[in-house]
């Protein structure tokens, strides 16, 4: 066994510093109560360790798109129900969303779980680019098979302690589909699913261990669909009106728009339909856009300007434009009160190391990375307090209505980018199991600390109120918008009209 050791201390820097009140400090009674359950919690997760890995692997192999995670959702729900939790299916009118809870009364601690995969990332668990030999083009490039499984294991461990009378209150697992662009948690928030929660915990696989009061980018998603007139591209071009030309003009206008947006704006797109033969003027074309910014209130008007680019494309090409708004998600509102506890526990529990067998995979994978990082970094816990991550997550909307915090564990070879074939491959290898196991233990220990320390929950609620200030939570969804249940299905002229 090769093991990396690190002495680590959290720096004091942060954009906002909240000083814990005496009421939020752990009392002797709280420490005693937490000590009484810690060993049992950890043993519960260890006892379930191999079974959890098998669950994660089944979800990894199945790799289902957002809002279509029928198998993955059912597997996690059945696992939680078999452990004695009460499962409620199809919450917020979403077929693959569910909750599983145990206990009664306060506090109510929520633990989030995800399980959707990404398109175009079919990959085996090999350290070179090898697509799977089946028809599934999806892959877990963000590690959500690990996310949902670790969260479920931690939830079960907490439920066992509530059942034994060692913890008060209620633990609730949220089965959250379609994080990758489907914004399911926003609809859960709007349905009031978090109204009685005192705190919410989440985590995410990564190539590093990290914790702190980190934010994210708000994001809006849209599909611009253009309809023109088909004609022979050589014999009768004057009779055609190209939908693809409209897409190209939209994209060009957007490139010019970039110069006149705030520096931290991110705009990216993919053409999802653009015709089928060069000698047929395309009568239908579609382009799928994301636009992001660290602040939702700045993002709203930026999105309107993006729409103008599409309208200009339609006007210039004499095509009809349909705007398929896919939804929006807010930036994460950090909570330092909770993140400090997570950072402490993650540091305490971090025992990641590579065996000789692991290194055979790790070294080869490292050669396939554009920017590899030292392998020793898996022994570190990076403080990301006060930073803004350049990704987006629908956890952001949850964080505006209930104190929320999360963290990362190293499930991939250091330096592995998310949403890559390398991340998919690592997710099928045993090194991912180690990071998942660390996450389950960190979630459980943190949740137990919240159950036994009401002062911390009070402090976290006060911090949320202070960070929100005079701002009232308002989602980036359109009024009355429903979940885009078919957003991962291929677009055609006929399907877009359904």
- DSSP letters along 409-449, please? EE-S-TTPPSSSHHHHHHHTSHHHHHHHHHHHHHHHHHHHH
Q: Are strands 218-227 and 320-329 parallel, antiparallel or unpaired?
A: antiparallel
Last residue of a domain, one of 329, 351, 383: 329
Q: What is the DSSP letter of 354?
A: B
Residue 211's CB is within 10 A of a number of other CB atoms, namely 28
Q: What is the DSSP letter of 400?
A: T
Place 489 in a pLDDT band, splitting at 50, 70 and 90. Answer: confident
Last residue of a domain, one of 263, 297, 329: 329
Residue 104's CB is within 10 A of a number of other CB atoms, namely 10
Q: Are 62 and 74 in contact (CB under 8 A)?
A: no
Structural domains of the chain, count:
2
The reply to whether 200 and 230 lie within a common domain is no
pLDDT tens-digit map of 45-90: 999 999 999 999 999 999 999 999 999 999 999 999 999 999 999 9
The reply to whether 442 and 409 lie within a common domain is yes
Q: Which residues are CB-contacts of 122 (< 8 A; sequence separation ≥ 6)?
A: 63, 131, 132, 134, 136, 137, 138, 139, 424
Place 243 in a pLDDT band, splitting at 50, 70 and 90. Answer: very high
The reply to whether 232 and 300 lie within a common domain is yes
Between CA 146 and CA 57 the distance in angstroms is: 9
The CA-based angle 201-362-10, given to 5 degrees, is 40
The reply to whether 428 and 454 lie within a common domain is yes
Residue 9: per-residue pLDDT = 33
- Percentage of the chain beyond pLDDT 70 is 93
CA-closest candidate to residue 436, choices 114, 74, 143, 100: 143
Residue 28: per-residue pLDDT = 63
| Cα 207 from chain centroid (whole Å) | 15
Residue 20: per-residue pLDDT = 46
The reply to whether 136 and 279 lie within a common domain is no
Q: Helices 144-163 and 70-82 sit at what angle, rounded to 10 degrees?
A: 20
The reply to whether 294 and 381 lie within a common domain is no
Helix locations, 274-321, DSSP H: 296-317
Q: Are 442 and 477 in contact (CB under 8 A)?
A: no
- What range does the domain containing 393 cover? 22-216+331-468
Q: What is the DSSP letter of 253?
A: H
Does the structure show a pLDDT above 70 at 347? yes
The reply to whether 223 and 205 lie within a common domain is no
CA-closest candidate to residue 315, choices 249, 244, 232, 230: 249
Helix (H) / strand (E) element for 226: namely: strand 218-227
pLDDT tens-digit map of 395-406: 999 999 999 999
User: How much is the CA Rg of the chain, to the nearest whole Å?
Assistant: 24
The reply to whether 404 and 446 lie within a common domain is yes
Average pLDDT over residues 451-474: 96
pLDDT tens-digit map of 260-273: 999 999 999 999 99
Between CA 68 and CA 324 the distance in angstroms is: 19
Between CA 404 and CA 148 the distance in angstroms is: 17
In a domain, 493, yes or no: no
Residue 251's CB is within 10 A of a number of other CB atoms, namely 17
CA-closest candidate to residue 147, choices 447, 462, 407: 407
In a domain, 487, yes or no: no
DSSP bridge partners of 119 = 138
How many residues are there in the chain?
Answer: 498
In a domain, 485, yes or no: no
Q: Are 130 and 190 in contact (CB under 8 A)?
A: no
Retrieve residue 278's tokens: 């060069």
Does the structure show a pLDDT above 60 at 17? no
CA-closest candidate to residue 460, choices 174, 109, 15, 32: 109
Retrieve residue 70's tokens: 């029928």
CATH code, 240: 3.30.70.360
Average pLDDT over residues 338-353: 98
Residue 268: per-residue pLDDT = 97
Place 494 in a pLDDT band, splitting at 50, 70 and 90. Answer: low
Last residue of a domain, one of 269, 294, 329: 329
The reply to whether 200 and 288 lie within a common domain is no
In a domain, 235, yes or no: yes
The CA-based angle 263-268-269, given to 5 degrees, is 160
Does the structure show a pLDDT above 50 at 134? yes
pLDDT tens-digit map of 179-189: 999 999 999 99
Task: Map residue 342 onto helix, strand or coil.
Answer: helix
Residue 486: per-residue pLDDT = 93
Residue 491: per-residue pLDDT = 77
The reply to whether 339 and 286 lie within a common domain is no
Residue 495: per-residue pLDDT = 60
Mean pLDDT for the chain overall = 93
């Amino acid at each position: 066994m090769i093991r990396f050791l690190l002495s680590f201390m959290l720096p004091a820097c942060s954009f906002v510093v909240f000083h814990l009140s005496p009421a939020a400090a752990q009392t002797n009674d709280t420490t005693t109560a937490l000590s009484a359950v810690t060993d049992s919690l950890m043993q519960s997760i260890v006892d379930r360790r191999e079974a959890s890995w098998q669950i994660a692997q089944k979800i990894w192999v199945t790799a289902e798109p957002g809002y279509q995670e029928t198998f993955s959702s059912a597997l996690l729900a059945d696992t939680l129900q078999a452990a004695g939790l009460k499962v409620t299916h199809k919450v917020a009118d979403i077929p693959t969303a569910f909750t599983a809870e145990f206990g009664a009364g306060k506090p109510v601690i929520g633990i989030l779980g995800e399980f959707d995969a990404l398109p175009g990332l079919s990959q085996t668990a090999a350290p070179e680019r090898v697509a799977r030999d089946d028809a599934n083009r999806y892959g877990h490039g963000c590690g959500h098979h690990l996310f949902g499984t670790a969260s479920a294991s931690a939830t079960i461990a907490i439920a066992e302690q509530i059942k034994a009378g060692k913890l008060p209150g209620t633990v609730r697992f949220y089965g959250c589909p379609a994080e990758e662009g489907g914004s399911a948690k926003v609809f859960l928030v709007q349905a009031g699913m978090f109204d009685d929660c005192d705190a919410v915990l989440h985590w995410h696989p990564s190539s590093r261990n990290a914790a702190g009061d980190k934010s994210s980018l708000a994001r809006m998603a849209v599909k611009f669909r253009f309809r023109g007139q088909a004609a022979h591209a050589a014999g009768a071009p004057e009779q055609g009106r190209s939908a693809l030309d409209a897409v190209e003009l939209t994209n060009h206008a957007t490139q010019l728009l970039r110069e006149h947006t705030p520096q931290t704006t991110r705009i990216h797109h993919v053409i999802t339909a653009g015709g089928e033969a060069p000698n047929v003027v395309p009568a239908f074309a579609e382009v799928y856009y994301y636009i992001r910014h660290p602040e939702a209130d700045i993002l709203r008007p930026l999105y309107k300007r993006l729409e103008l680019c599409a309208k200009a494309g339609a006007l210039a090409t004499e095509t009809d434009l349909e705007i398929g708004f896919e939804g929006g998600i807010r930036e994460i509102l950090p909570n330092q009160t909770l993140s400090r506890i997570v950072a402490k526990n993650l540091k305490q529990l971090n025992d990641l190391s590579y065996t000789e067998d692991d290194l055979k995979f790790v070294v080869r994978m490292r050669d396939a990375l554009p920017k590899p990082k030292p392998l020793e970094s898996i022994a570190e816990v990076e403080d990301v307090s006060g930073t803004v991550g350049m990704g987006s997550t629908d956890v952001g909307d949850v964080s505006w209505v209930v104190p929320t915090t999360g963290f990362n564990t190293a499930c991939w070879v250091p330096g592995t980018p998310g949403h890559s074939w390398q991340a998919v491959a690592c997710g099928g290898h045993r090194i991912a199991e180690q990071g998942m196991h660390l996450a389950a233990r960190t979630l459980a220990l943190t949740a137990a600390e919240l159950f036994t320390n009401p002062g911390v929950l009070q402090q976290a609620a006060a911090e949320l109120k202070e960070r929100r200030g005079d701002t009232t939570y308002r989602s980036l969804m359109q009024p009355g918008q429903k979940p885009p249940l078919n957003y991962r299905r291929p677009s055609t002229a006929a399907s877009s009209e359904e």
